[in-house]
Amino acid sequence: MTGTRLIYRSQPFGFDAAMLAGILSTARRNNPRWGITGALICRHDVYLQLIEGPSDSIEALYSRILKDDRHLDVRLLLQEEMNQRLFPTWAMLDDEAPSLFWSAEDVAKGALEAASPDTLLAPFLLLSKAHPD
């Protein structure tokens, strides 16, 4: 299956368990009907999300994310064509990663925006191996 893989980062607005549960519930309910899968890595200062699926579905979802008031300072980090999904059976896998790969200070200084595509994909590759189909 061909399609689009997209990674973005945003700053959570009002990050807490209820906010995260709401985002995940919505994603898990809506993503299957649009053929979207992915993973959300989150902590108090950053959401790092990978979404993958049909190009038109990914574009529509990203447009909704840009307007979602639960996300501040949304930044597109990677958009690429893909032939194979990293999370083929996950409507939305979540991982609360307090350490992630970058410190809060690194994120604030723009480390995610400066990262190479391989570096951005690295935590998602680890997640996909830790949660096989």
* Residue 69, pLDDT score: 83
* Residue 17, pLDDT score: 78
Which CATH code, of 3.90.550.10, 3.30.70.100, 3.30.2420.10, 1.20.120.160, is assigned to 3-130?
3.30.70.100
Measure the CA–CA gap between 14 and 26, rounded to whole angstroms.
17
3 state SS of 133: coil
* Tens digits of pLDDT across the chain (133 residues): 689 999 999 988 777 778 778 888 888 999 999 999 999 888 878 889 999 999 999 999 999 999 988 888 999 999 999 999 999 999 888 877 655 678 888 888 999 999 999 999 988 888 888 877 6
* Residue 98, pLDDT score: 55
Q: Where are the domains of the chain?
A: 3-130
Calculate helix-pair angle for 17-34, 55-67, nearest 10 degrees: 150
End-to-end CA distance of the chain: 17
* Residue 71, pLDDT score: 83
